[in-house]
Amino acid sequence: MTDQSSNQMWGGRFAAGPDAIMEAINASIGFDKRMAAQDIAGSRAHAAMLAATGVITDNDAEAIREGLLTVLSEIEGGTFQFSTALEDIHMNVEARLKEIIGEPAGRLHTGRSRNDQVATDFKLWVRDQLDAAESGLLALIRALLSQAEAGADWVMPGFTHLQTAQPVTWGHHMMAYVEMFGRDLSRVRDARARMNESPLGAAALAGTSFPIDREMTAKALGFDRPAANSLDAVSDRDFALEFLSCASISAVHLSRFAEELVIWSSAQFRFVTLSDRFSTGSSIMPQKKNPDAAELIRAKVGRIFGANTALMMVMKGLPLAYSKDMQEDKEQVFDAADNWMLALAAMEGMVKDMTGNRESLAAAAGSGFSTATDLADWLVRVLKVPFRDAHHVTGTLVAMAESRGCDLPDLSLADMQGVHEGITDDIFTVLGVENSVNSRMSYGGTAPAQVRAQIARWREILGG
């Protein structure tokens, strides 16, 4: 193949040749313009510090401050003209600042580099997303608490292997997700505390000879302290990886709940009714009401997991300090953040709007010999039968009930005594599903009293 024909193969999109290819691969303005507000906040803090330390004059600092506010208003108003030739948000802002205020704009970059600038911007952006995730998780937890409170004593089947296991309460099931999302909340808060160190002033990699005050800029930007090592400060993306890790684990929880809502809202289960706001109809089958929001939440996991894996692959082999590979750190985080926030909001909406079908839940709770374990426990507790023997007796009674097409409470006392002569009428006090759930009073158990205690604990944790 000739050079000319080879050129035609890749040259269609980049008609200007290698220069166009380099501009396209090097530019990040198409996505990092999302950090405009954070970039301008960092520049304003840096300029104020440069003036306070005497590196630039107060007049220059004031011109920079006013110019940056103008740039921000243009970006927020949609009139700012972004240029791929200027590569990224930092150069786009600085170039426009120079057009507005002239020479003082050239002094803004004193004592810093794009390396610490982008690390600062990205940290500020991720920190904002962690705050948004905290808000979303709190709203979802409160919605779950309301559902748990409303149905603290509603009986429903508990499952293992998606097979009926033992009766539980609706409130207990809702509170299981409160615990999951509560751990997500803890991880978000923990990640935010750990990442809250300012890279600004680390410059390219070695710090700067200018008499800057990194404590001042850190405080101005809401950081707890400046990062302690300039090499690490510009090359660290742990905060982004932690964000994606938090998002990934939370997405697992969202997806598990979404799967249950898909199952529960089906005609075969009828455990819940989802609102029309979070469902759609079929284009051809008028009887159908599809749980599309839950299904889409379930699908978001792939994108969030993919972002987590992609960034780990970007970072895994990079020597200190900065490499251009790290420009690939943002698109994955931006996409994961968008999808996590959307999934949290959608799940909160579904939980707030959904209606648990108490009658269907109760009917299912008593099916599948769900109180068999209660029978076995009674044999151990009252008759002192070894558990393995009690398990065998119970299995025999289950087989008998199954062969007759009835449930355990429908067997007669004589039937039961035919399997174990020590069984008395007292056995019927544990076989009903209401009796079963009320007896589970161990800490963290499904008894309504325990569920209400856990709701109260969480209300106290959340401050009401």
Q: Is the link from the previous residue into 202 a cis peptide, with omega within 30 of 0?
A: no
- What is the rounded distance in angstroms from the CA atom of residue 206 to the CA atom of residue 195? 20
- Residue 59 parent element (H or E): helix 58-77
- Residue 159 parent element (H or E): strand 155-160
* 150 CB-contact burial (10 Å; exposed 0-12 / middle 13-18 / buried 19+): middle
Q: Would you give the distance in Å from CA 23 to the centre of its chain?
A: 35
Of 26, 208, 30, 56, the closest CA to residue 117 belongs to 208
What are 26's two structure tokens? Answer: 């090097």
Q: Phi then psi for 166, rounded to 5 degrees?
A: -140, 155
Q: Is the torsion defined by CA of 248, 250, 253, 258 positive or negative?
A: negative
How many CA atoms, within 13 angstroms, populate the side-chain half-sphere of residue 104? 20
Where do runs of H (alpha helix) occur along 78-213?
89-101, 114-150, 170-195
CB 226 within 8 Å of CB 201: yes
- Report the b/e string of 187-198 with b at 16+ CB within 10 A: bbbebbeebbbb
Annotated catalytic residues are: 161, 282
Amino acid symbol at 384: K
The DSSP secondary-structure symbol of 322 reads -
Q: Is the torsion defined by CA of 267, 270, 275, 279 positive or negative?
A: negative
What are 444's two structure tokens? Answer: 């963290």
CB 157 within 8 Å of CB 367: yes
- Residue 198 parent element (H or E): strand 197-198
Angle between helices 36-52 and 89-101 (to 10 degrees): 60
